[in-house]
Amino acid sequence: MTDYAYVRTEMAQEAPPPASEVGVFGWVRKNLFSSWINTVLTLIGIYLIWIIVPPIIEFAFVNAVWTGENREACVGVHGACWAYVDAYLPQFIYGRYPADERWRVDLVFFLFAIGLIPMLIPSVPFKRENIIYMLAVFPVVAFILLTGGDFELSGFVFSDSTAAFWIEYLILTIVLAALVYAMARAGENDPRPGLITVVAIMAAIAIVLGVVSIDFGLEDVETDVWGGLLVTLVIAITGIAASLPLGIAFALGRRSKLPIIRLVSIIFIEFWRGVPLITVLFMSSVMLPLFLPEGVTFDKLLRALIGVALFAAAYMAEVVRGGLQAIPKGQYEGAQALGLSYWQMMGLIVLPQALKLVIPGIVNTFIGLFKDTTLVLIIGLFDLLGMVQSSFTDPNWSTPTQSHTGYMFAAVVFWVFCFGMSRYSIYMENRLHTGHRR
Amino acid sequence: MAVQDTMGAESARASVFYDPKVRGIFFQILLIALLVFFGYQIVTNTIANLERQNIASGFQFLNTTAGFSIIQSLIEYSEESSYGTGLIVGFLNTLLIAFIGIILATVLGFIIGIARLSPNWVISRIAYVYIEIIRNIPLLLQIFFWYFAVLRAVPNPRNSVELPGDIFLNNRGIFAPKPIFESGSGLAGIALLVAIAAIFFIRHWAHKRQEATGQQFPILWTAIGLLIGLPLIALIVTGFPIGVDYPELKGFNFVGGLKVTPEFMALLLALAIYTAAFIAEIVRAGILAVSHGQTEASHALGLRQGPTLRLVIIPQAMRVIIPPLTSQYLNLTKNSSLAVAIAYPDLVSVGGTILNQTGQAIEIIGIWMVVYLSLSLLTSAFMNWYNQRMALVER
């Protein structure tokens, strides 16, 4: 056998990639300086960062004043006056809520947090109890704590005493139950399930009304003195809680086969989506009192809440409709073939899939709603931005950098909430992304 | 037949109450009854309330003298003008801010959206940070920031910041030289129109020629040449009949020139910067929606990077971009109503003043709603028309 010495018998060692292609240097070359256009862009980008970021850091941290009693501390300083934010922090959080009663607001924040945090973490058990707590217990408790409870219930027909109210309530319950019984009889059906539902709903409402009317010895706090982050959160959370079910209802209405229901839904949605929120708020603050009979007045905050909730519901309806349209027709037909009723089909088959598809849109609407709460300051409610804005009139703290500091603080607070919501929605979207990703 | 008979018997046995048709009609009648009831309540209550407050309903108040001044007006307006004129001034101001805001936001949004997709790490990070910061801060806060913290904080007229080109910036606004068209400058305007018409004609002809012979014609350079050249020739012929009105400091303020109020600037900046963040995301999504295969196929056909982008990617991306973009334009227009917070005299702001003076809440709010609703409906009609034109024609 001839021995060919020039034939390789084993693989040559792989040469390492050139130093200019790997590591930090390679990455920089590839991503930042791959061509002369890219180099110019990188330099422009670095220049932009250079002229924007250092001044902000200098303003917010390096030159900032952290402690001080009044404006003396911040005069002549070219930095943020955090001492002013520190002094005003209670106002930014509670508004003009009486100082002695602020523990009630803190308690509500705390109760909300212990309900919300386990809801948001998917691995925590007892989700059903948690939802009941958030939807039934927390709102009532929060309402009593914030307003002071002790609501007076007065009858409409007989007299305006509390006893008359309960008698009338009982009569109403009996009438409703009789109606349901008669309808079931006419349909030759078992009347029991309908009766139980009616009695249960009326009893639940009665319990809520009863609890709200109990005097817990809490001092009454009018909504006029609420303010700051409290108002922002109350409007945002109530708006979110009200707009989702309303939006779903209008989305279903718009997809309904019944012409009048569809028409009413379309008009409602297009009307609210076509006008700016500020005119809606003006409407709720100026026009709504005209619509009500003489003597009936609504709380200013409640009026704004109604406006915000209806406005957000219209946007929510369009988002949900997008999801409903994305569900293939086979799902509807399959559900019908199984003999499910309309509400079973929607509740068990279509909506769970549709809502899952539009989570980003729903959260976007929530974020929009949260940002839009600032608009209530135009109709004279003091949300967080309203409190910041009104603090500028205080001569005790008026310095050239006061407005910058105040806006920076408000911007950071809003940003944290909105950015947090958008990150959570991305996380949830990935988690629920089952079945569609291959 | 037999099968049908039994089915008929079945449905006869079931109650009328469970017939979906009957149920549907029942619920719809219920809905109508409720709506009519509420409508009746609202109308009677409103009439009673208005009578009690001695407010005459109707639109006669529009002819009354307004008695308040408006800081910025596109048409003739003084304190002696009527409320109706004031509302028109406000409406025109809304259109003005919306128009300029939309142009600025589109330009900025497209730049940032493309920057977000740039392979350059620094540029795409900057775009990302811009989008995430601006989108998550309320617009009203941004308007306040620009107005109270930036434009109100610049020096007074005596210590104005002087920018190149005789532009002065102070807390009363921005003052710039204003061109005054004297007699004879009409010819330049006509020349401009002729240039535009010629460009359309040349474009049409170039397309035809390319389809027939395959030869391309440099349309872009011809267009630029015509646009600049023709009016320039007209101006030279007439001897430059354009004067300039320079702003001058007289007493405590500037007189003459073109004045841009700080309210307008603040609102414009805030609206453009805020909406641009949303447009950037739309542009990014639109470009990403065109599959990479399109680029590869185009390269395979021998098209270079520029024509690929211009002829293949952008036309397809626009199809995805246009509908949400229109709704952003609409949002910008509706958001311009936040002007009321810094007293830029737009429709809502002027209307609010009139509402306070006359108490005609229903009429004013009605005018607002009708104006904004018609703007929305017009925009969505346009969008539908454009969508149909751009939609994929499938064979």
Residue type (1 letter), A69: E
Chain A residues within 8 A of B125 when measuring between CB atoms: 45
What are the C-alpha distances in Å from B154 to residues B151, B158, B161, B264? 6, 11, 8, 15
> Domain A88-97+223-438 carries which CATH code?
1.10.3720.10
Q: What is the pLDDT of residue A4?
A: 62
Residues B45 and B93 in one domain: no
| Full domain range(s) for residue B16 | 2-52
What would the mean pLDDT of A34-44 be, rounded to a whole number?
Answer: 86
**Quick check: B27 and A275 CB within 8 A?**
no
Where do runs of H (alpha helix) occur along chain B? 2-13, 20-52, 83-116, 121-135, 139-144, 186-213, 219-238, 262-289, 292-300, 305-307, 314-335, 347-358, 361-390
Nearest residue in chain B measured CA to CA from A285: B361
Domain ranges of chain A: 1-64, 88-97+223-438
Please tell me the least confidently modeled range out of A172-181, A410-419, B380-389. B380-389
Classify residue B78: in a domain, yes or no. no
Of the residues A401, A407, A418, A423, the best mutation for testing chain B's interface (the one with the most B CB atoms within 10 Å of its CB) is A407
- pLDDT score of B373: 92
A351/B164: higher pLDDT: A351
ipTM: 0.86
Range B351-378 average pLDDT: 89
Give the one of A276, A294, A375 whose C-beta lies nearest to B372's C-beta. Answer: A276
Of B378, B276, B260, nearest to B325 by C-alpha is B276
pLDDT at A119: 87
- At A71-87, the pLDDT tens digits run 888 887 788 888 888 88
The reply to whether B290 and B369 lie within a common domain is yes
Select from A32, A188, A372 the Cβ nearest to the Cβ of B121. Answer: A32
- What SS3 state is found at A436? coil
Is residue B334 in a domain? yes
Closest chain B residue to A29 measured between Cα atoms?
A: B120
Of B52, B133, B140, the CB nearest to A385: B140
**Would strands B173-176 and B258-260 be described as parallel, antiparallel, or unpaired?**
antiparallel
Helix, strand or coil for residue A258?
coil
Which residues, other chains included, contact A382 with Cβ-Cβ below 8 Å and sequence gap of 6+?
Answer: A95, A96, A226, A227, A228, A231, A390
* Domain contains B216: no
Among A288, A374, A405, the residue to mutate for chain B (most B Cβ within 10 A): A374
Task: State how far the Cα of B340 lies from the Cα of B326, in Å rounded to an integer.
Answer: 24
Classify A33 as helix, strand or coil. coil
Position B137 in a domain: yes
How many Cβ pairs within 8 Å bridge chains A and B? Answer: 162
pLDDT of B8 > 60? The answer is no
- Average pLDDT over every residue of A276-303: 84
Exposure string of A62-84, with b = 16+ CB inside 10 Å and e = fewer, is eebbeebebbebbeeeebbbbbb
Q: How far is B69 from chain A (nearest CA, A)?
A: 21
- What's the structural domain count of chain B? 2
Q: State the pLDDT at residue A1.
A: 54
In this structure, the answer to whether residues B280 and B139 fall within a common structural domain is yes
HSE-up of residue B387 (Cα within 13 Å, Cβ side): 14
Same domain? For B273 and B339 the reply is: yes
* A24 inside 8 A of chain B by CB: no
**For the segment B160-213, what is each residue's pLDDT rounded down to a tens digit?**
777 777 778 877 788 877 777 777 777 888 888 888 999 999 989 988 888 888
Say yes or no: B302 and B371 in one domain. yes
Percentage of chain A beyond pLDDT 90 is 29
Report yes or no on B186 lying in a domain.
Answer: no
Residue B20 phi/psi, 5-degree rounding, is: -55, -35
Smallest CA–CA distance, residue B119 to chain A, in Å, is: 6
B154-161: long-range contacts, CB 8 A cutoff, minimum separation 24: B156/B252, B157/B249, B157/B252, B157/B253, B157/B254, B158/B249, B158/B252, B160/B249, B160/B254
Contact A365, A316 (CB under 8 A): yes
The reply to whether A385 touches chain B by the CB within 8 Å rule is yes
Three-state secondary-structure class, residue B248: strand
Minimum mean pLDDT range among A212-226, A320-334, B256-270? A212-226
Contact A258 B27 (CB under 8 A): yes
What is the mean pLDDT of the segment spanning A367-393?
90
Q: Are residues B38 and B153 in the same domain?
A: no
Contacts of A44 in chain B (CB under 8 A): 123
d(CA A247, CA A317): 4
Q: Which of B28, B121, B153 sits opposite A31 (nearest CB)?
A: B121
Q: CATH number of the domain at B282, please.
A: 1.10.3720.10
Shortest CB distance from B126 goes to which of A48, A293, A411?
A: A48
Residues of B in contact with A407 (CB under 8 A): 141, 144-145, 148-149
Put simply, the chain A residues between 260 and 279 with a CB less than 8 A from any chain B CB are: 260-261, 264, 270-271, 273-279
Residue B199 domain flag: no
The token pair at A400 is: 């050239």
- Reply yes or no on whether the pLDDT at A337 is more than 90: yes
Separation between Cα atoms, residue A384 and residue A231, nearest integer Å: 7
Judgement on whether residues B25 and B149 belong to the same structural domain of the protein: no
Is pLDDT at B389 greater than 80 in this prediction? no
Ramachandran area for residue A22 (φ above 0: left; ψ -120 to 50: alpha; else beta): beta
Share of chain B above pLDDT 70, in %: 94
Q: Which of B249, B276, B296 is nearest to B114 (CA)?
A: B276
Task: Let me know whether B366 and B322 are in one domain.
Answer: yes
Does the pLDDT of residue A438 top 70, yes or no?
A: no
SS3 at position B181 = strand
Neighbour tally for A36: CB within 10 Å: 8
Q: Hey, is A183 helix, strand or coil? A: helix
Residue A258 touches partner B, C-beta closer than 8 Å: yes
For residues B86 and A34, the model is more confident at B86
Of A41, A278, A392, the CB nearest to B337: A278
DSSP secondary-structure letter at A218?
P
Task: Note whether B338 contacts A38, CB cutoff 8 Å.
Answer: no
Distance of alpha carbon A78 from alpha carbon A60, whole angstroms: 10
CA distance B158 to A195: 80
Q: Is A41 part of the contact surface with chain B (CB cutoff 8 Å)? A: yes
Q: Are B235 and B242 in contact (CB under 8 A)?
A: yes
Confidence of residue A278 (pLDDT cuts 50, 70, 90): very high
Question: Chain B within 8 Å of A318 (Cβ-Cβ)?
Answer: no
| Residues facing B326 on adjacent strands | none
Least CB–CB distance from A274: residue in B27, B362, B377: B377
In terms of Cα–Cα distance, which of A418, A412, A368 is closest to A388? A412
Backbone conformation region of residue A178, classed left if phi is above 0, alpha if psi is from -120 to 50, else beta: alpha
pLDDT value of position A168: 85
Residues B58 and B360: their CA atoms lie apart, in Å, by 8
Looking at per-residue pLDDT, the higher value among A106 and B67 belongs to A106
The whole-angstrom separation of Cα A132 and Cα A126 is 10
- Computed over every residue of chain B, the mean pLDDT equals 84
| Residue pLDDT, tens place only, B29-39 | 989 999 999 99
Alpha carbon B262 to its chain's center = 20
Tell me whether A359 touches chain B (CB under 8 Å): no
Report for A2-11, A40-49, A207-216, B157-166: range of highest mean pLDDT: A40-49
Of A219-223, B79-83, B120-124, B158-162, the least confident: B158-162
Cross-chain residue pair B17–A183, CB shorter than 8 Å: yes
CB contact under 8 A, A186 and B340: no
CA A405-A409-A414 angle, 5° bins: 145
Q: What is residue A229's predicted lDDT score, i.e. its pLDDT?
A: 92
Confidence tier at A410 by pLDDT (50, 70, 90): very high
Closest Cβ–Cβ partner in A44, A186, A378 for B340: A378
Q: What is the tens place of the pLDDT at every residue in B142-152?
A: 999 999 888 87
Residue A386 in contact with residue A227, Cβ under 8 Å? yes
- For residues B136 and B267, state if they share a domain: yes
Q: What's the CA gap between B120 and B110, in Å, rounded?
A: 17
Residue A434: predicted pLDDT? 65
Q: Residue B179: phi, psi to the nearest 5?
A: -75, 140
Tens-digit pLDDT profile for residues B316-348: 888 888 888 888 999 999 999 999 999 899 999
- Which residues, including other chains, have CB under 8 Å from residue B179's CB and lie 6 or more apart? B242, B243, B244, B245
| B374 and B272 share one domain | yes
B248, part of any domain: no
| C-alpha span between A404 and A415 (Å, rounded) | 16
| C-beta atoms of A419 and B338 within 8 A | no
Task: Please tell me the distance from the alpha carbon of residue B118 to that of residue B385, in angstroms, as a whole number.
Answer: 33
Give the mean pLDDT of chain A: 86
Alpha carbon distance A365, B342 (integer Å): 26
Domain stops at, among B10, B37, B52: B52
Asked if residue B147 is part of any domain, the answer here is yes
Highest average pLDDT, of A192-196, A250-254, B153-157, comes from A250-254
Question: Cα A308 from chain centroid?
Answer: 11
Q: Say yes or no to pLDDT of A252 above 90.
A: yes
Q: Please indicate, yes or no, whether residues B361 and B315 belong to a single structural domain of this protein.
A: yes
What residues in A contact B41, CB-CB < 8 Å? 291, 293
Q: What's the token pair of residue B382?
A: 């346009």
Task: Tell me: do B331 and B268 sit in the same domain.
Answer: yes
